[in-house]
Chains A and B, each alone.
Chain A
């Protein structure tokens, strides 16, 4: 029976609940703006990655290499665009 038990999914569900709980702390405790944003950003991205890998089955097929590299590429491009834009229009204007 053990091999039919979806251990990964259950653990994923537990982790996603924990991450949600952590994010909720920002609302219910008295954090500074900075700490709050850091907590939110970190938990949000961990949550997205978790959902992607476990519940959207990103790593389960043969083409997982192309799926992950696509995500990494997209992520890198977004970061570059955002940082570049901030640099141009705010930090170095």
Chain B
């Protein structure tokens, strides 16, 4: 019995008990359904062991939507708690746990898999490759991310949630002040998911550098691929910092080292420093692919090629350098001198310049375009003004002297939601709607889609504009309640209503998927949007080998498919030959189960199962080292037969 006591929740409540029951019921139901329909073999053969970048992408997408739901529920709880003064819906401890979870889930387990979904799904198609450079590593990346996310989501029902904020600053995050295992969950779950992300970064840099179609020079890559390249470059240089910081934090908590402790030569400020050395580049890891998606969407529906391709690329390259020079603006008030703050104020304002260049490029692309207001375009058109507003308040926060006023108020909260929601989330949903027909062979309903955008923007404005005002009036961030006399109550109620409207837009999104699945026509061909990039040049649904003949874009521009349609440029030259493909493998999944076991055991300081987990991981690596796996060939006849089937259906 004593053994099991460690898994108890230190601070339970009725809601948590309800969630426990629900989790058990849903898990049992899921297992029952899969067993009843005999789907275990199918899942294992087609999804769990897959190395196909398209399927891995779709699994990332599912995770992202699931986590969007989880983070969204947290957000509604937070807004409801603050909607009235002296509200008792959540107590201080639960409020801390919920905002910590909301932040971590939304950034690391919603936004990150969403952009990774786009990397996976689009990059090989846009560069005319058959798969990524290291397909099996890609599978491992996904499962590490999945295990990290599951571990983190387990925390609130087993052992207690992390409660030190998504930034988890020391000394608060140290054992002295965070006594439950919650912060262990934070350190280890993010570590596991982070290793997966690091692998993704290496994988995609290699893919883009080495596997581009013949004739595709760097400056002929589609804009999304460029943004993916830069984002992955930043991943490879920023994530190791997080890995090291988390490892040091883990050691502080588990083995009583003193890296971030207050006494004994430790330095708590070093955590904040390292966290943001990773944390600020992370912002650009999220936003650059989002910009890439918007570039694709805007040029497609303005029916013009992207204005200023080269300046777009150079602004991203400049951002990749500047991203690493601004991190101090997250803690202007930590106590360093005015000299340091001034330097980082200037670099922060400077980074607004390349971002501004991109905004103007999109505006000039729209200028004199034949704009077509489809759902993805509507997201993009809403993005430009809303994101600019977020950018301007960002420049306000960049002024270090003024930041002493805004720091840790709702003004800051409003600012970063103002850039992340219209920036990242809108881009992800625009891309999601835009590429949906390519993935599943039918369109999402346009009417519901457009309504969703309007509802979402309305909710967004109502939810976050009041925070700017209450923030300037002094409402502190992360405070679980306030008194009537502060006068914050009306605006916070408005904010809650806005959050509710945003929840409605999420339900509309889900409803749209269901409605379109039932009603949308399936004979839409492979190019329903009249799009421009190479990714649209293949069939729908995309065959496992992507392109029967490797495209050759020597004679085309960065919009190879458009050139093919409008100028008759040949991309597919030569004959169909046998195609080399990578084999599926179950080892990465088993390895990531080892990671899960290792992580879970470390969280509760159970050393023997931790060693078992570690052995599983090492055994998987050893197996890979000695394994001979040269992939397989799809014979010429099979490729021809598949292609003929597509022709018969008139898909091309």
Contact = CB atoms under 8 A, between A and B. Distances in A.
Interface stretch (A2-10, A37-45, A52-60, A74-82): A74-82
B522 to A, nearest CB: 43
A10 B273 CA distance: 45
Given A77-B237, A88-B340, A93 B335 contact: yes
B177 interface: no
Interface in B240-275: 241, 267, 269-270, 273
B626 interface: no
Interface in A22-77: 63, 66, 73-74, 76-77
A92 B237 contact: no
A87 B328 CA distance: 11
B336 interface: yes
Contacts of A21: none
Contacts of B340: 87-88, 92
B328 A84 contact: yes
A81 to B, nearest CB: 6
B521 interface: no
A89 interface: yes
A84 B270 contact: no
A20 interface: no
B337 A89 contact: no
B468 interface: no
Given A77-B324, A85-B273, A92 B209 contact: no
B237 A88 contact: no
A85 B237 contact: no
- Where chain A touches its partner, the secondary structure class is helix
Nearest to B323: A77
A32 B269 CA distance: 32
Given A88-B340, A92-B336, A81 B324 contact: yes
A66 B337 CA distance: 38
A80 B328 contact: no
Contacts of A73: 233, 237, 320-321
Find the residue from A66, A76, A84, A87 having the highest chain B CB count within 10 A. Answer: A84
Nearest to A87: B340
A9 B273 CA distance: 42
A63 B217 CA distance: 12
B337 A92 contact: yes
- Where chain B touches its partner, the secondary structure class is helix
B336 A66 contact: no
Interface residues of A, number: 15
Contacts, number: 45
Chain B: interface residue count, which band?
Answer: 20 to 34
Find the residue from B321, B324, B328, B339 having the highest chain A CB count within 10 A. Answer: B324
Nearest to B337: A92
B209 A88 contact: no
B327 interface: yes
B337 A85 contact: no
B325 interface: yes
B277 interface: yes
B277 A85 contact: yes
B351 to A, nearest CB: 13
A74 B237 CA distance: 7
A81 B237 CA distance: 11
Interface string B317-352: 000110011011000001111011001000000000
Nearest to A85: B273
A72 to B, nearest CB: 11
Nearest to B320: A73
Contacts of B336: 87-89, 92-93
B209 A66 contact: yes
A84 B580 CA distance: 48
Contacts of A63: 209-210
A93 B324 contact: no
A88 B328 contact: yes
A76 B237 contact: no
A93 B338 CA distance: 10
A89 B276 CA distance: 14
Nearest to B343: A87
Contacts of B339: 92
Contacts of B209: 63, 66
Contacts of B267: 89
Contact of B337 (A74, A76, A77, A93): A93
Given A92-B337, A93-B335, A93-B337, A84 B269 contact: no
10 contacts: A77-B321, A77-B324, A80-B324, A81-B241, A81-B277, A87-B340, A89-B270, A89-B273, A93-B335, A93-B336
Given A87-B343, A88-B334, A92-B339, 10 more contacts: A66-B209, A74-B237, A76-B321, A77-B321, A77-B324, A81-B277, A89-B267, A89-B270, A89-B336, A93-B337
The 9 closest A-B pairs by CB, nearest first: A92-B337, A92-B340, A88-B336, A77-B324, A92-B336, A77-B237, A87-B340, A92-B339, A81-B277
